[in-house]
Every structure is written in structure tokens, then in C-alpha cells.
Amino acid sequence: MADEQPQQTRQLALQKIYVKDFSFESPKAPGVFTTEVSPQTQLNIRTGTQEIAPNVHEVTLTLTVETKDRDSTMFLVEIVQAGIFSIQGYTAEERAMLIGSFCPNALYPFAREAVADVVGKGGFPQLLLQPINFDALYAQAQQERSEGNGGQRPPAEGNGGGPDGGETH
């Protein structure tokens, strides 16, 4: 046992969660409340990260929710939910997985609640965003990066991509 090297202690800690940006638009109000509609909702998800100190990362989760009736926008919500995470003792691959999967998963419930709240305050029925499997999104993005485009994946429509490749759902 004397040949064993001491391992660096692994640490993953959420230090702070905050809203970095938030907007709600209802361009057709109040008319949208007095007509018969067939709403269709689209959710676009992006993540991003920046190292703000050694072993400390700001991770952002951007949700864009647009509900339309035919070609007319009923409402549009965008939130950038952010968190500061201390991540140390992990390999680069493990750290990338934590930033691309674990961190957005920790942020999502906060963003989901904020979206539901503002949509209700905007006069619309409650919007319940479904749970998201960030592990699967991260694995899919990694697979797509390794398959083509010289390891580069074009961003999804209307966004700049991120650790999850800018998935649209």
C-alpha cells in the first residue's frame, strides 16, 4: 500500500444560483385573450460556461420558450439562469461532463419555475415544462461532435451552441 499515490480530493459545490437575464413578451395582448387559438410551444435550450477563477465556473442555462398560434407569437420568454460551481479534482473529460450535464440539471428547476411564474403573470394558462435528461443531451452532443464536421457541430437554428451543442426541443 506504500506505492499508492494520494488522490486529489474531488469537489463539486454549487456556490450561487442567480438569474442573469430574463424577458417576457406578449406582442398580441390583449387581443390574444379574446380569440380562439391553437397554441404550439417550442422550447430551445442552450448552455454556456466560463471559468471565473481557478476551478470555479459560471454555467449558464438559457431557455427560450415561444408559443405561437399559426404564425403569430402569443408569448416569448427567455431566461438565462446561471450558477457558480466549484469543480476540482476531476479530469478534463469529467469536468466537461459535469459542466455539460450535472450543472444544467441543477439549474433547470429554477429556470422552469421562473418561466411558469412569468407565463401565469402574463395572463396565460400555467406552462409546465417537462423534465429534461441533460445526461442524454450531453451524450448526444458528444456523439455528434465526434461523427463529423471535423469535430465541429454547427449551432442549432437561432443560437450559438454551448456544451450541449445548443439543442432545440
Task: Confirm whether 47 is domain-assigned.
Answer: yes
Residue 45 sits in a domain whose CATH number is 3.10.420.10
Task: Confirm whether 160 is domain-assigned.
Answer: no
Grid coordinates representing 157?
A: 437554428
Task: Confirm whether 93 is domain-assigned.
Answer: yes
State yes or no: pLDDT of 66 exceeds 80.
yes
Length in residues, the chain: 169
DSSP string for 121-136: HTTSPP--PPP--HHH
Contacts of 47 (CB under 8 A, 6+ apart): 59, 60, 61, 62, 99, 100, 103, 104, 162, 163, 164
Per the structure, the count of domains in the chain is 1
Task: Confirm whether 97 is domain-assigned.
Answer: yes
As a whole number, the mean pLDDT across the chain is 86
Structural domain harbouring 116 = 11-146
State yes or no: pLDDT of 27 exceeds 60.
yes
Grid coordinates representing 106?
A: 441543477
pLDDT score recorded for residue 68: 95
pLDDT score recorded for residue 37: 86
Stated pTM of the model: 0.81
Query: Rounded to whole angstroms, how far apart are CA atoms 127 and 139?
Result: 28
Task: Confirm whether 153 is domain-assigned.
Answer: no
The residue ranking higher by pLDDT, 158 or 43, is 43
Task: Confirm whether 155 is domain-assigned.
Answer: no
Task: Confirm whether 157 is domain-assigned.
Answer: no
Contacts of 70 (CB under 8 A, 6+ apart): 38
Task: Confirm whether 164 is domain-assigned.
Answer: no
Q: By mean pLDDT, which of 5-9, 12-16, 105-109, 119-123 is the weakest?
A: 5-9
Query: Rounded to whole angstroms, how far apart are CA atoms 38 and 116?
Result: 19
